[in-house]
Amino acid sequence: MASCVNTLATKVAAGQLCKAFGIKFNTNPQVVQLAKNAGFDSLFIDLEHSTLSIDDVSQLSVAGLLTGITPFVRVPHQCGNGFVQRVLDGGAMGVIFPHIHSSRKYPRIPAPWLRSLIPRSLEDAKAAVSISKYPPAGCRSMTGQLPVFSLKTTPQDRVIDESNTSASSVILMIETKDAVENVDEIAAVEGVDVLLVGSNDLAIELGVPGGFQTPTFRSALESVSKACRRHGKTMGLAGIYDNYEIQNWAINTLHVRYMLCAIDSSLIASGATRCIAALPNVEKSGRG
């Protein structure tokens, strides 16, 4: 088998929560060990909102493989087949695709002014699966010495079977009105593993920025949950941290089984703030 077990698959199969640690600032692979020590199950390596390079991502992914914490990578919106190929060849065991809109197939309309009237990212869900999987499930190109197989020469039929089955998770972000409206058909796409709610962008699109407790936002999450359960997909949640009430509702009512629990930059910022806030008390207690 591939050199790292896909903890998303094993956790979900056991009815447990797969806890993801986000990386957008730190390029030192030792941060992966710290995440593992803390009890995280997977990495959420962010290429959408960071300046990380492909090489940075590969080093972090390989560290995840060696440490036993499954590396997933969020790619930039509409980055294309070639970019996703490099992320997977670099060691990622799955790809997180932002700003999914639909899975519909629209007729080809050559006129630019007519094309502009069609919703963006046509067939987003199907395209995400296709560029993540080897034929016949998709169109990913074959190469040798892959990190998920410890850089060992591996028979192509084994690479195809094991990669398509457990080393190329497809995680689609639901963070637009279009996605919520089309969530049932998105969830029905074969090869999709997770529908991950991008809470901040979705709340903004719904007209309730930061309004995670509003009926509008909660209703959207309920729609995603129902679609996931109807089609046997995993529901994920990102963007809501340090809010036990919402997390409890998401896990125990909506059956969320994949959660982005923390981002390295946020942990540094909050830890630094707590450190400085505590200093006046230390200085006061030390007087006399």
Residue pair 67/42 in contact by the 8 Å Cβ criterion: no
Report which of 138, 47, 23 is spatially closest to residue 96, judged by C-alpha positions.
Answer: 47
DSSP-assigned states of every residue in 126-191: HHHHHHHS-TTT--PPP-SS-GGGTT----HHHHHHHHHHHS-EEEEEE-SHHHHHTHHHHHTSTT
pLDDT in tens, the chain (288 residues): 555 799 999 999 999 999 999 999 999 999 999 999 999 999 999 999 999 999 999 999 999 999 999 999 999 998 888 999 999 999 999 999 999 987 654 434 344 433 343 344 347 899 999 999 999 999 999 998 999 999 999 999 999 999 999 999 999 999 999 999 999 999 999 999 999 999 999 999 999 999 999 999 999 999 999 999 999 999 999 999 989 999 999 999 999 999 999 999 999 999 999 999 888 766 555 554
Q: How many CA atoms lie within 13 A of 33 on its CB side?
A: 4
Question: Domains along the chain?
Answer: 7-285 (3.20.20.60)
pLDDT of residue 2: 55
* Backbone φ and ψ of 169, nearest 5°: -60, 140
**Distance from C-alpha of 51 to C-alpha of 53, rounded to nearest angstrom:** 6
The rounded distance, in Å, linking the Cα atoms of 51 and 73 is: 13
Single out the catalytic residue among 49, 77, 99, 255: 49
Residue 103: both structure tokens together: 């899975």
- The per-residue pLDDT for 120 is 42
Q: Give the pLDDT score at 101.
A: 83
| Residue 286: per-residue pLDDT | 53
Give the DSSP letter string of 4-47. S--HHHHHHHTT--EEEEEESS---THHHHHHHHHT--EEEEES
Whether 49 sits among the annotated catalytic residues: the reply is yes
d(C-alpha 98, C-alpha 245), whole Å: 26
pTM listed for this prediction: 0.89
CA distance linking residue 169 with residue 10, whole number of Å: 12
Cβ of 127: how many Cβ atoms within 10 Å? 21
| Closest by CA position to 239, among listed 16, 20, 18 | 20
What's the pLDDT score for residue 122? 41
Which amino acid, residue 93?
M
